[in-house]
């Protein structure tokens, strides 16, 4: 358990993640209250990373369920290996014959076979997928349900049930109850609205682009080779570009990529030519690119 | 504290943020975990449990600041409101009170010593049973300020002050000095009254936050679309967004209820072949309702532009209810604008469709021509799963209405629905050719206000596509 909000911040930093006070507070509460966290925010601001780091910081195993269109219960929860089960039954026909050899009536034979239920309906034939893995786990885990907005609303409703009682019933085996309540993190890029039910169940965390101070910290942490001067310049320039209301403003992942390539180019400072030649790291759309190029003097103003 | 949090939740609900009882319970639990030590942390604990839509965060922030006053910041503000203190007079009074050991009314003392935070607390106390929950309008501020003032013993204060002045006079201060001190005390009294008023104003803002907006919205919902001002059109966007969300929520609920299907014997048997005829895997007929396709065809000439704008917004906000949406706009030349909606946010796409679409807005509506062009180029792509939603006033400017085009279209699709932003009484009068088109439509509805538009679309989503299945 985290001792305090500050403790969250410290342990996240040790795992190379800069959590502002808001993020840390929500993480703290999630663990204390045993509630899933739903993280929303633009792409590349560290939503997925946060879940990974949470696992690292708490010493839990990470189990990840990546959502996509068409994801269903079978692929998320478990699959029953009917073919294997049937094969076993075929192979064991003789043994079954032996088993019921000395029975005298049909009900007696059935009873005898029923006594062997466990052999026919066992975990042997169950192939768990992420959700069941998380519930079955002997050790405490972090369950990351990544990009839930990509799955269909029907799946969301099913997930909500699982998250409400952390137990699933497998018709062949009965009900499986979680040994430890997993720490659950869901992420969404807001491709569609999520259901009210799911939102009610979760603590909500909106992660936006980081404050300049935090972004500087992230840069120092993730690109340690970068000089202080260049790091400052990168952060300021990125902030200004974000303010331009581009179709896709650069996110943390882009500013990290950019910083890394500037380091490889041995850059000391930013200048127009350098920015222009590395802009593809930062801005992805043609139109956006042109707008940034047109405003380079503003982006670079007063940057040493 | 719990009581205060619950009251705050009441404020949020009045500002139209939906908060369920379970979320309220969560907020109490979270604040208990966090404690009140740090204001920002406390605020996050409430936000994360109560606010589930990023767009509501701004409202939350504002109301939080109004309700859980930042006493330190407030103290600063109050100091300013109190005006500068005069240290010399303050000294003199302090000394006097110490020497004479006089008993003063607590409020007099407060006014003399004047800590902003303490004053605010006193005012809050005073405001407790004056019926502030009825405070709803700007006009009530004076009334409630007076009611709070009446809770303080002004006679008592006045007597205290008079006694102080007498004592000072007895100490031999000259009339000039006395007048200055009296004046100073009056200013403080005045400032205290001002604080009371400020308190009431803040209470009003907190209680009535966005109530005005709500009222406007209700009025706008029933106002004829053509009569909306530019300002109102802008406000309307959020109204339509809200409607879309309501329709979606209702639909999602129904889908969940219909979820479980019946046994699909055919698929079960087919599957069982794999296991030597034993029905190992049961297959269920997912009552999978195939999503409908939708084509919208909007007249975007000046007279009906607002209606088109809102219909486009509504339809595209509901796009996940359809397997495919395509949109066309016309005045007389017709053009497809689907691409814009796939590229831009709905808002921008609409502006683009209305402004820069390859349609000449200056010519006059010609429904006949538009439909005949549509027929020629798009007929092949129509099928039985498609519904065509047309929006227009059918005022054809005496051009050839070419109703045959509608007839061809109708033969190919599931149905045609026509929304007319003009009152029904005008159909068929003057250059309106509605009666010529109506026979080829499955549904024709008047759609003069957002209220009507919402009803029609809601009906479509919930009923039209369920027919004949
Ligand atoms: N606060 C942060 N501290 C450290 N690294 C961060 C932070 N925010 C983002 N990053 C980095 O940015 C990149 C993108 O993060 P990711 O989690 O994939 O984004 P998202 O899931 O929000 O799209 C990762 O390489 C991550 O390490
Ligand atoms: Mg991610």
Specify whether A230 is located in the same domain as A187: no
| Domain ranges, ordered by start, for chain B | 2-68, 73-209, 238-257+290-464, 259-289
Distance from CA of A37 to the nearest CA of B (A): 9
Q: Which atom of ligand 1 is nearest to the CA of A16?
A: 4
pLDDT exceeds 60 at position A29: yes
The 3-class SS string of B48-72 reads: HHHCCCHHHHHHHHHHHHHHCCCHH
Q: What does the pLDDT read at residue B311?
A: 84
Q: What does the pLDDT read at residue A152?
A: 84
Q: What does the pLDDT read at residue B233?
A: 82
Distance A293 CA to ligand 1 centre (A): 26
Q: What does the pLDDT read at residue B206?
A: 82
Q: Determine contact: B51 vs chain A, CB below 8 A.
A: yes
pLDDT in tens, A84-140: 777 777 777 777 777 778 888 888 887 777 777 666 667 777 788 899 899 989 999
Q: What does the pLDDT read at residue A272?
A: 92
What's the pTM? 0.69
Q: What does the pLDDT read at residue A64?
A: 96
Specify whether A200 is located in the same domain as A147: yes
Q: Is the pLDDT higher at A142 or at B152?
A: A142
Q: Do B278 and A154 touch (CB under 8 A)?
A: no
Q: Determine contact: B30 vs chain A, CB below 8 A.
A: yes
Distance A17 CA to ligand 1 centre (A): 8
Specify whether A49 is located in the same domain as A188: yes
Q: Determine contact: B276 vs chain A, CB below 8 A.
A: yes
DSSP one-letter string for B6-35: HHHHHHHHHTT----HHHHHHHHHHHHHH-
Distance from CA of B318 to the nearest CA of A (A): 10
Question: What's the Cα-to-Cα distance from B362 to each of B226, B303, B420, rounded to whole Å?
Answer: 18, 12, 21
CATH number of the domain to which A196 belongs: 3.40.50.300
Q: Do B40 and A21 touch (CB under 8 A)?
A: yes
Using a CB-CB cut-off of 8 Å, the residues of chain B touching A33 are 26, 29-30, 33
pLDDT in tens, chain B (469 residues): 788 899 899 989 988 888 999 999 999 999 999 988 899 999 999 999 999 988 889 889 988 988 887 666 666 666 676 666 677 887 888 888 777 777 788 888 887 776 677 777 888 888 888 888 888 777 888 899 999 988 888 888 888 888 888 888 888 888 888 888 888 888 888 888 888 898 898 888 888 776 766 777 777 777 888 778 888 888 788 778 877 877 777 776 666 556 555 667 777 777 777 777 777 777 766 555 667 788 999 988 887 888 888 888 888 888 877 888 899 988 888 888 888 888 888 888 888 887 765 666 666 789 999 999 999 999 888 998 898 999 999 998 899 999 999 999 999 999 999 999 988 888 988 899 999 999 999 999 998 888 888 888 878 777 765 644 3
How many CB atoms within 10 Å of residue A91?
9
Name A8's Cβ contacts closer than 8 Å, sequence gap at least 6.
A2, A19, A24, A25, A27, A28, A57
Q: What does the pLDDT read at residue B211?
A: 72
Q: Determine contact: B23 vs chain A, CB below 8 A.
A: yes
What ipTM describes this predicted complex? 0.86
Mean pLDDT confidence for A192-204:
90
Query: Considering the domain boundaries, does residue A300 fall inside one?
Result: no
DSSP state of A181: P
Query: Considering the domain boundaries, does residue A301 fall inside one?
Result: no
The pLDDT-based confidence of A277 (bands split at 50, 70, 90) is very high
- Domain total in chain A: 3
Q: In this structure, which topology does domain B238-257+290-464 adopt according to CATH?
A: Rossmann fold (3.40.50)
User: What is the pLDDT of chain A when averaged over all its residues?
Assistant: 89
Largest interatomic CA distance in chain B = 118
Using a CB-CB cut-off of 8 Å, the residues of chain A touching B57 are 206
Q: Do B248 and A21 touch (CB under 8 A)?
A: no
Specify whether A26 is located in the same domain as A89: no
Q: Do A33 and B30 touch (CB under 8 A)?
A: yes
Using a CB-CB cut-off of 8 Å, the residues of chain B touching A154 are 255-256, 259
Question: What's the Cα-to-Cα distance from A169 to each of A132, A135, A175, A183, B230, rounded to whole Å?
Answer: 10, 11, 4, 21, 57
Closest-approaching ligand to the CA atom of A218? 1
Residue B292: Cβ-neighbour burial (10 angstroms; 0-12, 13-18, 19+): buried
Specify whether A161 is located in the same domain as A28: yes
Specify whether A38 is located in the same domain as A155: yes
Specify whether A217 is located in the same domain as A151: no
The best mutation among A46, A142, A231 to test binding of ligand 1, ranked by most ligand atoms within 8 Å of the C-beta, falls on: A46
Q: What does the pLDDT read at residue A188?
A: 95
The 3-class SS string of A33-57 reads: HCCCEEEECCCCCCHHHHHHHHHHH
Specify whether A152 is located in the same domain as A198: yes
Q: What distance, in Å, lies between the first and last C-alpha atoms of chain B?
A: 55
Which of B 252-271 lie inside 8 A of A, CB atoms?
A: 252, 255-256, 259
Q: Determine contact: A153 vs chain B, CB below 8 A.
A: yes
Q: What are the backbone dihedrals phi and psi of residue A152, each rounded to the nearest 5 degrees, phi first?
A: -75, 155
Mean pLDDT confidence for A9-35:
96
How many CB atoms within 10 Å of residue A117?
10
Q: Which domain holds residue A289?
A: 212-295
Specify whether A252 is located in the same domain as A138: no
Q: What does the pLDDT read at residue B71?
A: 65
pLDDT in tens, A229-275: 999 999 999 999 999 988 899 999 999 999 999 999 999 899 999 99
Q: What does the pLDDT read at residue A299?
A: 92
Which of A 86-145 lie inside 8 A of B, CB atoms?
A: 86
Query: Considering the domain boundaries, does residue A302 fall inside one?
Result: no
Domain boundary among A88, A108, A125: A125
Lowest mean pLDDT among A174-178, A202-206, B162-166, B279-283: B279-283
Specify whether A147 is located in the same domain as A272: no
Query: Considering the domain boundaries, does residue A89 fall inside one?
Result: yes
Record the tokens describing residue B70, joined without a space: 């930042």
| Beta strand ranges found along chain A (DSSP E) | 37-40, 61-66, 78-80, 126-128, 141-146, 167-170, 174-177, 183-188, 203-206
Query: Considering the domain boundaries, does residue A145 fall inside one?
Result: yes
Residue listed under structure tokens 């010519």: B363
Cross-strand bridge partners of residue B324: B293
Size of the A and B interface in Cβ pairs below 8 Å: 74
Specify whether A34 is located in the same domain as A140: yes
Answer for the pair A275, A200: CB distance below 8 angstroms, yes or no: no
Distance A66 CA to ligand 2 centre (A): 9
Domain boundary among A206, A228, A253: A206
Record the tokens describing residue B60, joined without a space: 């939350």
């Amino acid at each position: 358990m985290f001792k305090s909000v500050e403790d969250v911040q410290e342990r996240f930093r040790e795992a190379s993640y800069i959590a502002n006070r808001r993020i840390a507070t929500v993480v703290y509460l999630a663990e204390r209250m045993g509630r899933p966290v739903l993280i929303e925010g633009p792409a590349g601001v560290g939503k997925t990373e946060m879940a990974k780091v949470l696992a690292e910081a708490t010493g839990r195993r990470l189990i990840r369920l990546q959502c996509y269109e068409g994801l269903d219960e079978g692929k998320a929860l478990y699959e029953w290996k009917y073919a294997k089960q049937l094969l076993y039954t075929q192979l064991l026909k003789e043994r079954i014959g032996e088993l019921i050899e000395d029975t005298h009536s049909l009900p007696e034979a059935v009873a005898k076979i029923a006594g062997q239920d466990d052999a026919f309906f066992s975990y042997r034939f169950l192939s768990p997928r992420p959700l069941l893995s998380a519930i079955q786990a002997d050790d405490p885990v972090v369950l990351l349900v990544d990009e839930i907005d990509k799955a269909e609303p029907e799946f969301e409703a099913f997930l909500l049930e699982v998250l409400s009682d952390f137990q699933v019933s497998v018709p062949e085996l009965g009900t499986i109850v979680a040994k430890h309540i997993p720490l659950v993190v869901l992420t969404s890029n807001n491709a569609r609205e999520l259901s009210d039910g799911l939102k009610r169940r979760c603590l909500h965390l909106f992660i936006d682009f980081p404050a300049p101070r935090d972004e500087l910290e992230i840069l120092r942490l993730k690109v340690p080779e970068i000089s202080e001067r260049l790091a400052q310049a990168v952060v300021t320039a990125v902030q200004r570009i974000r303010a331009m209301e581009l179709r896709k403003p650069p996110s943390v992942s882009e500013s990290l990529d950019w910083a890394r390539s500037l380091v490889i180019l041995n850059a000391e400072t930013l200048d127009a030519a350098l920015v222009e030649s590395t802009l593809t790291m930062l801005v992805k759309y043609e139109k956006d690119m042109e707008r940034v190029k047109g405003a380079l003097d503003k982006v670079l103003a007063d940057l040493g | 504290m719990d009581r205060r949090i619950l009251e705050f939740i009441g404020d949020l609900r009045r500002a139209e943020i939906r908060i369920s009882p379970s979320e309220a319970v969560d907020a109490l639990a979270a604040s208990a975990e966090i404690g009140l030590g740090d204001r920002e942390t406390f605020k996050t604990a409430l936000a994360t449990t109560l606010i589930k839509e990023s767009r509501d965060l701004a409202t939350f922030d504002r109301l939080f600041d109004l309700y859980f006053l930042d006493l330190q910041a407030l103290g600063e503000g109050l100091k300013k409101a109190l005006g500068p203190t005069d240290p010399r007079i303050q000294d003199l009074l302090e000394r006097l009170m110490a020497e004479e050991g006089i008993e003063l009314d607590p409020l007099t003392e407060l006014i003399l010593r004047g800590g902003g935070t303490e004053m605010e607390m006193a005012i809050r106390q005073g405001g407790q049973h004056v019926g502030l929950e009825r405070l709803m309008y700007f006009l009530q501020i004076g009334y409630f300020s007076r009611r709070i003032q009446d809770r303080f013993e002004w006679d008592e204060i006045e007597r205290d002050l008079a006694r102080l002045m007498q004592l000072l006079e007895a100490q031999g201060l000259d009339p000039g000095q006395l007048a200055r001190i009296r004046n100073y005390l009056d200013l403080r009294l005045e400032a205290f009254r001002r604080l009371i008023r400020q308190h009431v104003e803040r209470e009003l803002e907190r209680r009535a936050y966005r109530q005005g907006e709500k009222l406007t919205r209700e009025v706008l919902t029933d106002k004829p679309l053509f009569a909306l001002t530019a300002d109102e059109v802008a406000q309307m966007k959020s109204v339509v967004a809200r409607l879309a969300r309501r329709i979606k929520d209702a639909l999602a609920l129904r889908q969940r209820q219909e979820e479980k299907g019946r046994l699909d014997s055919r698929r079960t048997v087919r599957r069982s072949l794999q296991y030597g005829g034993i029905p190992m895997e049961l297959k269920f007929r997912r009552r999978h309702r195939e999503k409908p396709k939708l084509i919208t065809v909007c007249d975007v000439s000046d007279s009906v532009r607002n209606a088109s704008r809102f219909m486009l917004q509504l339809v595209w906000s509901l796009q996940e209810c359809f397997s495919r949406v395509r949109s066309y706009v016309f005045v007389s030349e017709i053009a497809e604008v689907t691409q814009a909606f796939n590229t831009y946010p709905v808002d921008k796409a609409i502006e683009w469709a209305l402004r820069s679409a390859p349609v000449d807005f200056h010519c006059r509506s010609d429904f006949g021509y538009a439909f005949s062009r549509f027929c020629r180029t798009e007929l092949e792509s129509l099928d039985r799963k498609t519904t065509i939603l047309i929006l227009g006033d059918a005022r054809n400017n005496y051009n050839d209405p070419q109703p045959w085009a509608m007839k061809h279209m109708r033969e190919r699709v599931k149905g045609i629905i026509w929304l007319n932003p003009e009152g029904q009484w005008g159909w068929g009068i003057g250059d309106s050719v509605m009666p010529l088109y109506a026979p080829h439509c499955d549904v024709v509805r008047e759609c003069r206000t957002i209220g009507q538009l919402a009803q029609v679309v809601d009906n479509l989503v919930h009923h039209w596509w369920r027919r004949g299945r």
